[in-house]
Structure 1
Amino acid sequence: MKNILFILFLTVFVGCKSDSEEKNQPVSIKDDVSFLADDKLEGRQTGTDGEKAAADYIAQRFEHLGLKAKGTEGYFQAFSFKPKTDPHQEVKYTVKDGDSTITGTNVVGFLDNQAEHTIIIGAHYDHLGYGAEGSLYRGETKAIHNGADDNASGVAVLLNLADKLKSANKGNNYLFIAFSGEEMGLLGSNYFTKHPTIDLKKANYMINMDMVGRLKQDSTLAVYGVGTSPILKQVVKANNSKFKIIENESGVGPSDHTSFYNSDLPVLHFFTGQHEDYHKPGDDSEKLNYEGMATISDYIFEIISDLDDNGKLPFRKTKNESDNLPRFKVGLGVTPDYLFDGKGMRIDGISEEKPAQKAGLQKGDIVVKLGDSLVTDLKSYMRALSTYDKGDKTRVVVKRGENEVEADIQF
C-alpha cells in the first residue's frame, strides 16, 4: 500500500506540473522544494521509497526541461553498496544482493550544445529519513527529517539553472546531477567520478549547491573552492552586487564538490550557512528564503555566463584547511555560525542537555573567551576547545548584545 501511495502522489504532483509547463508556466523553486520536502517522501533516506519517488520526480523535471538522459539506465545511475562499519574504511560498491546492501540512485541529465567541454552542476537530494546516522534530533518519538534546506534547496536551484541555461551560454555543454548517498559519505558523487557517464577529461568545472535555502538578512553567502582555478576568485567577486561573500579557497569540504576536486576539476560550492534546524525535523519548506534562492540562482548564472568564452579552466590544488584543525574530545553543544566574520565565535544553535544550554548560553551569543584562551574566530575556538577533557570545568565569556556575560561550563 505504501508504494501505491507514493506512486499516486508522484503522478498527481508531476502531472500538475507538466500541465503548467506546457502552458508556459514554469515550475517555481518553491514548487520543487514543496514536493521534495513533503512528509510523503519520508525524508528521502538513501535507498528508500521516498528517495525513489524524489528521483522519479527529478527525472521527469529533467525530461520536461529538455535534458537528455545521461545515466546508465535512462536518467538513472544506480549504485549498490554495503554501509561502512568502520568510519575510516573505504566504501565498497557492489551489485551483490544481500540484507545489508543499499541501492542509491543518481539522476543525470545532459544539455548538449555540441561544445568541446562540459560544466557539471550538482546537488544532492537524499536526506536522513526518520533520523538516520547524522541526525541531531534527540526527541523520544521518531520524526521525519524533510531536509528542505538540506538539500531540496540545492536541487530546486539546480532545476532553475537548467531552465535558464537551456537557451543561453552555448560555449559549454551542461551535465546536471542530483546525487544520492551524500549524507552517508558523498557516495553518489564518489561513484559518479569513478563511473562517469561522460569523459571527465572533457569536463570543465563543477558547481555544487548544498543548503542554499536560508539566506540571512545580511545576505551572507559562502563560496568555497575559489582557489581551485586562478580565475575563480576574480569571477566570484566581479559578478557580485548583492551578497556579502565569505570566500574559502579549498576544494575540499563536506559536500559533493569534494569528489570532483579530487578528480582534478575546479569547483565552486555555494552555501548559506548552518542553522538550528540542521539535521533535525524542523528543516521544513516554510522556513526557506525563496527570494534569496532565486537571487543565488541568478548569481550562479552570471558566473557561468562570465566564464562562457573562457574555454577549459586550469585546475589548481589548494590547501586542505581541515588538515590543520585540532582534534577535540569534548564540545559545548552548539552549532557555530560558520558565516560569521566578526570577532569571536557566534552561536547559531544550542543542543538540548549539553554544556552550553546548562550554562545558560543562548543563540546569538558570541564566545570571546574560553578559559584562559581568547576566542577571535572559529579556529581559535576549536584550538581552545581541544585542550579540555570530559569532566573538566572552565569559564566561558560571551558577548550578548552590548554586554559581556560569564558562565561556568562543565564538559
Structure 2
Amino acid sequence: MKPTIHFFLLLTILGYGCQAQEFEAPSITGHIKTLADDSFQGRGTGTAGEKAAADYVMAAFRKLGLQPKGDNGTYLQSFPFRGGAHGEGEAGTAANIVGYLDNKASTTVIIGAHYDHLGTDGQQSSLDANPQNKIHNGADDNASGVAGVIELARYFTSNGKKERNNFLFLCFSGEELGLLGSKYFADHAPVDLSTINYMINMDMIGRLDPQTKTVTVHGTGTSPVWEPLLKKLETDNLKIKTDSSGTGPSDHTSFYLKNLPVLHFFTGAHSDYHKPSDDWEKINAAGEVEVLKLIANIVNSLDKEPKLTFLKTKSRMQAGRSAFKVTLGIMPSYTGDVEGLKVDGVTEGRPGDKAGMKTGDVIIQLGDHPIKDIQQYMDALGKFEKGQTVPAKVKRDGKVLELEVIF
C-alpha cells in the first residue's frame, strides 16, 4: 500500500481517545503499528517514506492544536545532510517536526524523539548480515519514541490545566546519521535557548522487560533535582536505573552540549536492534504506558519549581559518523555496570562475529590496550588499521577468553 493512500486511513487512529488524559496502550500501539508499516519503507532520512511519517506526525500535532514552529509558519524545520557513514554519500534535505504549546510562561520544556530510521538499506548501520533491500521498520527504534511525543502532547493539551512551562514537541530526522536533526535544531532553535528549562528525550521505549520492569534514565547528573525526584517516583510497575552522563548516542546529547539539563529514557537493547525484525508486534505497549506516566509525573512534579540548575557530567562517547578505519561490528552497551565494554549485539559476518564474540561478552582488552569502559574501547579502536590482526580478551560466564580479531 502506498504511503499517500495509507495516510488517509490513519486519521481514525489519531482520533482514538484524543480527549482522554490517561495514556492507553491501544493508542500507543496504533501509532507504532502505523509508523513501522512497510509502506513507510523504514523511514530513511530524507526519503519519501520518512516524509509520509512526517505527514502523520503533523496531522497529530494539527489535531491537538499545537502551533507550528518550523520554517515559514509550518511544522517542518528543514536542514541539509549527506548520507553515508562518513558523510560521503548523496546530498539531501530532511526536516525536523516542531510543535509548540504556548502557555504564556517564561520557560519551555522540550519533549523529543527521532522519527527517522534505516530505510531499506540499513544506511551502513544495520546489524543484519545482508541488509540491502530489506525494510528496517524501526518499531522500537524509534516509532516508540514518536508515539511517546504524540501521546505526551495529547496529555498536556487536554489535561485541563495550564502548566507554568511552555512545551516544544519535537520529532528529529537524521538521528541515525549522527544526531543531525537535533544538532541543527539546537543551533537554529525558534526560541531562545536560555529560556529552555530542560529537555526530555525518548529513544527505544517500547520494549520494557515484563520481568524486570526496568527503564534506564540517562542524564540524571545534569541537574541536582533528577536523582531524588526519580527515586520518589519509582513504582512497583516501573523500576528505574539511572545513568548520570548527559552525553550518549541519542538526541539529548545535542541539548546537553548547549548546557541544558536533559533526561533520556530507554527500555533496553534487544536482538532486533537495527535489524529488519524490529517490528510492531514485539512492542510492549503497556510497558510504554508506564514510561509515559513517569515522564508526565516528572513534568508535573517540577511545574511549580524554579528553572532547573544545569550541571556538567562525565562525558560518554557521542553518537556520530564514525572516524575509525575499522569496526568490530558490535553494539556496545551504554548502560553496562561492569568493568569493560559489554556487548549488546553482534553483526553476522563482521570482525567481532568472525572472532567468536557473542552478545553478553565483556571486552576487557584489545591488542595491548586494556578496556575498562566505552571511552577506552573507542580510544583503542582508533589505533587499528584494516587488515590488522589483533588479540582480544573477553569475559564470558565468569571466564576470560582470548580471541583473534581480523580487521
Shorter-normalised TM-score: what interval? 0.7 to 0.9
Structure 1 residue 296, shift from structure 2 partner: 1.1
Query: Where does 1:125-136 land on structure 2 (aligned, <5 Å)?
Result: 125-131=115-121, 132-136=123-127
**Partner in structure 1 of residue 287 of structure 2:** 292
Write out per-residue CA displacement over residues 159-210 of structure 1, whole angstroms, 9 at most, x where no aligned residue. Answer: 2222222215612111101112222232222222233223333221111111
Q: Is the 8 A contact 2:206 2:283 kept in 1?
A: yes
Aligned pair in 2 of structure 1 residues 80, 332: CA closer, same or farther (>3 Å)?
closer
Write out per-residue CA displacement over residues 235-282 of structure 1, whole angstroms, 9 at most, x where no aligned residue. Answer: 2333223324131233x2222222222333221112233333222212
- Of residues 234, 254, 262, the one that matches 1:259 is 254
**Partner in structure 2 of residue 40 of structure 1:** 39
Query: Where does 1:114-193 land on structure 2 (aligned, <5 Å)?
Result: 114-131=104-121, 132-139=123-130, 141-166=132-157, 167=159, 168=161, 170-193=163-186
Look up the equivalent residue of 1:125 and give its one-letter code. Answer: Y
Query: Where does 1:7-156 land on structure 2 (aligned, <5 Å)?
Result: 7-14=4-11, 16-21=12-17, 28-83=27-82, 87=86, 101-131=91-121, 132-139=123-130, 141-156=132-147
Q: Is the 8 A contact 1:368 1:399 kept in 2?
A: no
Structure 1 residue 343, shift from structure 2 partner: 5.5
Structure 1 residue 319, shift from structure 2 partner: 3.6
Structure 1 residue 375, shift from structure 2 partner: 6.3
Structure 1 residue 329, shift from structure 2 partner: 6.4
Q: Is the 8 A contact 1:355 1:409 kept in 2?
A: no
1:363 matched to 2:356: no
Aligned pair in 2 of structure 1 residues 82, 234: CA closer, same or farther (>3 Å)?
same
Q: Is the 8 A contact 1:76 1:108 kept in 2?
A: yes
How many residues matched?
Answer: 392
Aligned pair in 2 of structure 1 residues 160, 245: CA closer, same or farther (>3 Å)?
same
Structure 1 residue 31, shift from structure 2 partner: 0.7
Aligned pair in 2 of structure 1 residues 229, 125: CA closer, same or farther (>3 Å)?
same
- Of residues 208, 223, 232, the one that matches 1:215 is 208
Q: Is the 8 A contact 2:173 2:180 kept in 1?
A: yes
TM-score (norm 2): 0.83
**Partner in structure 1 of residue 336 of structure 2:** 340
**Partner in structure 2 of residue 92 of structure 1:** none
Structure 1 residue 20, shift from structure 2 partner: 3.6
Structure 1 residue 320, shift from structure 2 partner: 2.4
Q: Is the 8 A contact 1:78 1:105 kept in 2?
A: yes
Q: Is the 8 A contact 2:346 2:358 kept in 1?
A: yes
Q: Is the 8 A contact 1:204 1:265 kept in 2?
A: yes
- Of residues 224, 228, 239, the one that matches 2:222 is 228
- Of residues 379, 391, 394, the one that matches 1:394 is 391
Structure 1 residue 126, shift from structure 2 partner: 1.0
Q: Is the 8 A contact 1:228 1:318 kept in 2?
A: yes
Q: Is the 8 A contact 1:367 1:399 kept in 2?
A: no
Structure 1 residue 317, shift from structure 2 partner: 3.0
Look up the equivalent residue of 2:50 and give its one-letter code. Answer: E
Look up the equivalent residue of 1:399 and give its one-letter code. Answer: R
Larger displacement relative to structure 2 (144-153 or 217-226):
217-226
Write out per-residue CA displacement over residues 36-81 of structure 1, whole angstroms, 9 at most, x where no aligned residue. Answer: 1111000111222111111111111112233233323454223241
Structure 1 residue 84, shift from structure 2 partner: 7.1
* Aligned counterparts of 1:256 and 1:407: Cα–Cα separation in 2: 36
Q: Secondary structure at the match of 1:300?
A: helix
* Aligned counterparts of 2:71 and 2:327: Cα–Cα separation in 1: 44
TM-score (norm 1): 0.82
Q: Is the 8 A contact 1:169 1:308 kept in 2?
A: no
Larger displacement relative to structure 2 (390-399 or 223-232):
390-399
Query: Where does 1:196-211 land on structure 2 (aligned, <5 Å)?
Result: 196-211=189-204
Aligned pair in 2 of structure 1 residues 236, 332: CA closer, same or farther (>3 Å)?
same
Aligned pair in 2 of structure 1 residues 194, 337: CA closer, same or farther (>3 Å)?
closer
Larger displacement relative to structure 2 (239-248 or 77-86):
77-86
**Per chain length, whose mean CA-contact separation is higher, i.e. which structure has more relative contact order (CA < 8 Å, sep 6+)?**
2
- Of residues 277, 302, 307, the one that matches 1:307 is 302
Larger displacement relative to structure 2 (133-142 or 362-371):
362-371
**Partner in structure 2 of residue 95 of structure 1:** none
Q: Is the 8 A contact 2:50 2:116 kept in 1?
A: yes
Q: Is the 8 A contact 2:79 2:184 kept in 1?
A: no
Structure 1 residue 378, shift from structure 2 partner: 4.9
Q: Is the 8 A contact 2:196 2:260 kept in 1?
A: yes
Write out per-residue CA displacement over residues 295-328 of structure 1, whole angstroms, 9 at most, x where no aligned residue. Answer: 11111111111111112112233342339xxx98
Look up the equivalent residue of 1:178 and give its one-letter code. Answer: C
Q: Secondary structure at the match of 2:82?
A: coil
* Aligned counterparts of 1:84 and 1:54: Cα–Cα separation in 2: 19
Aligned pair in 2 of structure 1 residues 312, 140: CA closer, same or farther (>3 Å)?
closer
Q: Is the 8 A contact 1:169 1:305 kept in 2?
A: no
Structure with max Cα Rg: 1
Aligned pair in 2 of structure 1 residues 74, 283: CA closer, same or farther (>3 Å)?
farther
Q: Secondary structure at the match of 1:143?
A: coil
